[in-house]
Structure 1
Amino acid sequence: MSTNMVVRVEGQEFILERVFDAPRELVFKAMSEAEHLKHWWGPRGWELTVCNVDFRPGGVWHYCMKCIDENQGDFFGFEAWGKALYQEIEVAEKIVYDDYFSDAEGHVAEGMPASHITITFLEHEGRTKLISCARYESVEALQHVIQMGMEQGIRETWDRLDEHLQAVK
Structure 2
Amino acid sequence: MVNSASNKLVWKVEGRELVLERVFDAPRELVFEAFSKAEHLMRWFGTKGWPLTVCNIDFRPGGVWHYCMKCVDESQEYFGQESWGRAVFHEIVVPERIVYTDVFSDAEGNVNENMPEARITLEFVEHDGKTKLISRTQYATEEALKSVLDMGVIQGITQSWDSLADFLVELQSK
Q: Same fold (TM over 0.5)?
A: yes
Query: 2:141 matched to 1:143?
Result: no
Show structure 2 runs of 5+ residues with no match: none
Cα distance in 1 between the residues matched to 2:7 and 2:48: 15
Q: Aligned to 2:80, what secondary structure does the other structure show?
A: coil
Q: Which runs of 4+ in 1 moved over 4 A?
A: none
Partner residue in 2 for 1:31: 35
Partner residue in 1 for 2:121: 118
Q: Give CA-to-partner distance per residue, 1:81-109, whole Å, 9 cap, x none.
A: 00100000000100000010000000000
Query: 2:42 matched to 1:13?
Result: no
Partner residue in 2 for 1:61: 65
The 8 Å contact of residues 3 and 159 in structure 1, kept in 2 or not, is answered as: no
Cα distance in 2 between the residues matched to 1:84 and 1:7: 22
Query: 2:169 matched to 1:166?
Result: yes
- CA shift, 1:70, in A, is 1.3
Query: 2:100 matched to 1:97?
Result: yes
Partner residue in 2 for 1:40: 44
Show structure 1 runs of 5+ residues with no match: none
Q: Give CA-to-partner distance per residue, 1:22-79, whole Å, 9 cap, x none.
A: 000000010111010000001111111110000000000000000111122x121110
Q: What is the TM-score normalised by the length of structure 2?
A: 0.94
The 8 Å contact of residues 2 and 21 in structure 1, kept in 2 or not, is answered as: no
Aligned residue-pair number: 168
* C-alpha RMSD over aligned residues: 1.0
- CA shift, 1:4, in A, is 1.5
Query: 2:85 matched to 1:82?
Result: yes
Cα distance in 1 between the residues matched to 2:73 and 2:92: 34
Query: 2:109 matched to 1:106?
Result: yes
Q: Percent same amino acid among aligned pairs?
A: 60
The 8 Å contact of residues 82 and 103 in structure 1, kept in 2 or not, is answered as: yes
The partner residue of 1:128 within 110, 114, 131 is 131
